[in-house]
Amino acid sequence: MTTFVQFHLLTPYPPSNPNRDDQGRPKQAVIGDHPRLRLSSQSLKRAVRETAYFLNDLAGNRGTRTKRIAEEIEAHLKGQGAADATARDAAEQVAKLFSKLEAGKDGKAALTTTLAFVSPDEWALAHELAERIVAGEELPKDKDLKKRVLRHADGAVDIAMFGRMLADDPDFNREAAVQVAHAFTTHRALVEDDWFSAVDDLKTREEDSGAGHLGELGFGSGVYYLYACVNVDLLIANLGGDRALAARGLDALARALATATPRGKQNSFAHHPRAHFIRAERGSRQPRDLSGAFFHPVNLRLHELGANDLEAASIRALEDMTAKLDAAYGPAAEAIEVLNVPEGQGSLDAIAGFAAHAAQQPAHADA
C-alpha cells in the first residue's frame, strides 16, 4: 500500500489579479452553477518552485525547465576554450537527446521544440558528453547515447514532484508524485473592472487637462480552497530511494503551498497572502479532495454554517465535509495536523514537520 500526504488549504486573497486569462483578466470557473475565481494548477506549481523554500533550501536539487539547452551547453564549451563552430555543433548534438530542435535563429544555437525539465545530474552529464564530442571521442549512437545523459531517477526534487514528459523518448518520462488542483473561491465571486489613469509629469498647466494614459484591468478577491496530494512512495522512488531528500522536499512543499502565490499584477495589488487554515493528512487510504464542501457557495450558507464571515464559513464547511465523508467512507488518514490562524491553533513548522515525517519512516507506521 502507498503512503499519501494530502493538503487542504484556505487562503484569503485581497483585491488582486495573480493568474490572468488570455484577455488579462482573473481566471474564472463555474462550480455548482455559481461563478468563482480560479488559480490554475500550473501557475501554483510555478509559484511553489519560485519560493525561497525551493530556490534556497533545495539548492542543488532543483531542475531547470527550458528550451535553451544548446545555448547553455555552447556557453559552457566556449568557456573552456572551444571554437565557436565546434561548440555549437557539440551543444546541438547533446540538446537533441532531450528533444527535437527548431531551426537556429539570429545566429544563436537552436532551441528545443518543447520545454525540457533537466536535472542537475543531467546538466553535468550533458556537459561531460559535449566535452567528449569536442575532444573527438568515438561515442555510441541513439538510445545508448541517451543513457549517457538521461536519467529515470535523480536528485531533482521538483522533477520528482511534478514530473516531466520527454515526447521523443518516453522511457525517460517521470510520473508526477504530487498532484495540485486548481484553487477556487469557496464562495460566489465575480471579476471587477478597474478604470485607471496615469498623469504625465511634464505636462504643463497650459495644455489640455486630463490624464496622459487611460486603461482598465480586472481584479477580484476571495477565500480560495487549494488541494494537493503527494504519493510519498513515488516521490522517494523518483529520488532514487533517498528518503532524507524526499523529507526535505515535503518540508519545502508544505511551507511553499502555505505561502506561494502567482505573481500576476503583484506590483499593482501587492498581494502577499498566507494560508489561514491548513489540514494536512497522512496515511495509506485512497486520497480524496474536499471540494464538495464548496459546491454550494458558503456565502449562501452563512446561517446554516453558523458564521458571519466567509473565512469562518469556509473553515466550518471544510470541517463539516470532512466529518461527513469520514462517517460515510471511514477516516481518510491515520494522522492529521491542523493550522488554524483565526483560532490561534498550530504552526507552519508543525505542518512541515508532519509532512516530512511521512518520508522519514517506513510506510504505514502511522497505522
Tell me the pLDDT tens digit for each residue of 107-166: 889 999 999 999 999 999 999 999 999 999 988 877 789 999 999 999 999 999 999 998
Distance CA 359, CA 246 (A): 6
Position 366 pLDDT exceeds 60 = no
Distance CA 4, CA 108 (A): 45
* Under 8 Å between Cβ of 110 and 104: yes
Tell me the pLDDT tens digit for each residue of 247-260: 999 999 999 999 99
Q: Which amino acid, residue 142?
A: D
Other Cβ atoms closer than 10 A to 166 = 19
Query: What pLDDT score does 124 carry?
Result: 97
Tell me the pLDDT tens digit for each residue of 96-118: 999 999 987 888 899 999 999 99
The cell numbers describing 239, all together, are 529520488
Strand-pairing partners, residue 223, are 12
Position 365 pLDDT exceeds 60 = no
Q: What integer best gives the mean pLDDT of the chain?
A: 93
* Under 8 Å between Cβ of 339 and 351: yes
Distance CA 186, CA 13 (A): 12
Query: What pLDDT score does 363 carry?
Result: 52
Distance CA 167, CA 165 (A): 6
Which band of pLDDT confidence, cut at 50, 70 and 90, is reported for residue 206?
low
* pTM, two decimal places: 0.92
Other Cβ atoms closer than 10 A to 69 = 27
Position 173 pLDDT exceeds 60 = yes
- Dihedral (Cα; 67, 70, 75, 78), 10-degree rounding: -170
